[in-house]
Amino acid sequence: MTSMNLADQAPRAAARALDSAEINAHLQQVAHWQLATDARSISREFKFASFYLTMSFVNALAHLANRADHHPDLEVSFGRCKVRLNTHDVGGLSLNDFILAAQIDRL
Protein backbone atom coordinates (compact mmCIF):
# COMPACT_ATOMS: atom_id res chain seq x y z
CA MET A 1 0.00 0.00 0.00
CA THR A 2 1.07 3.51 -0.72
CA SER A 3 -0.13 6.96 0.19
CA MET A 4 0.17 8.01 -3.48
CA ASN A 5 -3.07 8.38 -5.39
CA LEU A 6 -3.77 5.32 -7.51
CA ALA A 7 -4.55 7.52 -10.52
CA ASP A 8 -1.04 8.98 -10.44
CA GLN A 9 0.70 5.61 -10.59
CA ALA A 10 2.10 3.91 -13.66
CA PRO A 11 0.92 0.38 -14.44
CA ARG A 12 3.32 -2.42 -13.53
CA ALA A 13 4.68 -4.58 -16.35
CA ALA A 14 4.82 -7.62 -14.06
CA ALA A 15 1.45 -7.73 -12.36
CA ARG A 16 0.64 -10.01 -9.46
CA ALA A 17 -2.72 -11.01 -8.00
CA LEU A 18 -3.81 -8.94 -5.01
CA ASP A 19 -5.02 -10.55 -1.81
CA SER A 20 -8.36 -9.60 -0.26
CA ALA A 21 -6.82 -7.13 2.22
CA GLU A 22 -5.09 -5.29 -0.63
CA ILE A 23 -8.28 -5.34 -2.71
CA ASN A 24 -10.32 -3.85 0.12
CA ALA A 25 -7.71 -1.18 0.77
CA HIS A 26 -7.63 -0.11 -2.89
CA LEU A 27 -11.45 -0.16 -3.16
CA GLN A 28 -11.52 2.71 -0.69
CA GLN A 29 -9.90 4.91 -3.34
CA VAL A 30 -12.36 3.80 -6.05
CA ALA A 31 -15.47 3.57 -3.94
CA HIS A 32 -17.91 3.67 -6.89
CA TRP A 33 -16.56 0.38 -8.25
CA GLN A 34 -18.21 -2.91 -7.34
CA LEU A 35 -16.21 -6.01 -6.52
CA ALA A 36 -17.55 -9.09 -8.33
CA THR A 37 -18.89 -11.88 -6.14
CA ASP A 38 -15.93 -14.06 -7.18
CA ALA A 39 -13.55 -11.16 -6.28
CA ARG A 40 -11.82 -11.51 -9.65
CA SER A 41 -12.99 -8.26 -11.24
CA ILE A 42 -14.34 -4.80 -10.46
CA SER A 43 -16.97 -2.94 -12.45
CA ARG A 44 -18.70 0.43 -12.60
CA GLU A 45 -21.64 1.66 -14.64
CA PHE A 46 -21.61 5.17 -16.08
CA LYS A 47 -24.77 6.89 -17.39
CA PHE A 48 -25.01 9.56 -20.09
CA ALA A 49 -27.74 11.65 -21.71
CA SER A 50 -26.98 10.62 -25.31
CA PHE A 51 -25.05 8.17 -27.45
CA TYR A 52 -22.69 11.01 -28.42
CA LEU A 53 -21.76 11.55 -24.77
CA THR A 54 -21.47 7.81 -24.18
CA MET A 55 -19.09 7.40 -27.13
CA SER A 56 -17.05 10.42 -26.05
CA PHE A 57 -16.49 8.69 -22.71
CA VAL A 58 -15.71 5.35 -24.40
CA ASN A 59 -13.03 7.00 -26.55
CA ALA A 60 -11.42 8.79 -23.62
CA LEU A 61 -11.43 5.50 -21.72
CA ALA A 62 -9.89 3.73 -24.74
CA HIS A 63 -7.05 6.24 -24.73
CA LEU A 64 -6.33 5.54 -21.05
CA ALA A 65 -6.52 1.80 -21.69
CA ASN A 66 -4.09 1.98 -24.60
CA ARG A 67 -1.73 4.21 -22.60
CA ALA A 68 -1.73 1.64 -19.79
CA ASP A 69 -1.75 -1.31 -22.23
CA HIS A 70 -4.54 -2.65 -20.02
CA HIS A 71 -7.94 -3.18 -21.59
CA PRO A 72 -11.34 -3.39 -19.93
CA ASP A 73 -14.47 -5.19 -21.06
CA LEU A 74 -17.24 -2.74 -21.94
CA GLU A 75 -20.98 -2.92 -22.34
CA VAL A 76 -22.08 0.09 -24.37
CA SER A 77 -25.60 1.20 -25.18
CA PHE A 78 -27.38 4.49 -25.94
CA GLY A 79 -26.83 6.16 -22.57
CA ARG A 80 -24.78 3.70 -20.59
CA CYS A 81 -21.28 2.23 -20.39
CA LYS A 82 -20.48 -0.55 -17.97
CA VAL A 83 -16.75 -1.03 -17.43
CA ARG A 84 -15.29 -4.27 -16.09
CA LEU A 85 -11.62 -4.57 -15.14
CA ASN A 86 -9.54 -7.59 -14.36
CA THR A 87 -6.05 -8.86 -15.16
CA HIS A 88 -6.15 -11.92 -17.35
CA ASP A 89 -2.51 -12.80 -16.69
CA VAL A 90 -3.05 -13.21 -12.94
CA GLY A 91 -6.57 -14.64 -13.15
CA GLY A 92 -7.98 -11.89 -10.96
CA LEU A 93 -7.26 -8.37 -9.80
CA SER A 94 -3.87 -6.67 -9.90
CA LEU A 95 -2.82 -3.17 -8.92
CA ASN A 96 -3.14 -2.24 -12.60
CA ASP A 97 -6.92 -2.68 -12.41
CA PHE A 98 -7.19 -0.19 -9.57
CA ILE A 99 -4.81 2.28 -11.24
CA LEU A 100 -6.93 2.26 -14.41
CA ALA A 101 -10.18 2.46 -12.40
CA ALA A 102 -8.88 5.56 -10.60
CA GLN A 103 -7.82 7.11 -13.92
CA ILE A 104 -11.25 6.37 -15.45
CA ASP A 105 -12.89 8.02 -12.43
CA ARG A 106 -10.95 11.20 -13.26
CA LEU A 107 -12.73 11.40 -16.64
Under rule CB under 8 A, residue 107 binds its own copies:
no
- Taking the C-alpha atoms of residue 97 and residue 78, their distance in angstroms, rounded to an integer, is 26
- Taking the C-alpha atoms of residue 77 and residue 27, their distance in angstroms, rounded to an integer, is 26
Judged by CB, which is closer to its own copies: 25, or 64? 64
Among 62, 89, 106, 107, which residue interacts with its own copies (rule: CB under 8 A)? 62
Q: What is the DSSP letter of 51?
A: H
What is the sign of the dihedral through the CA atoms of 60, 64, 69 and 70? negative
Which range touches its own copies (CB under 8 A), out of 14-22, 27-35, 60-68, 91-99? 60-68
Q: Which of residues 86-105 bind its own copies (CB under 8 A)?
A: none
| 78 and 54 Cβ atoms separated by less than 8 Å | yes
Residues found near its own copies in the complex (CB under 8 A)? 51-52, 55, 58-59, 62, 65-66, 71-78
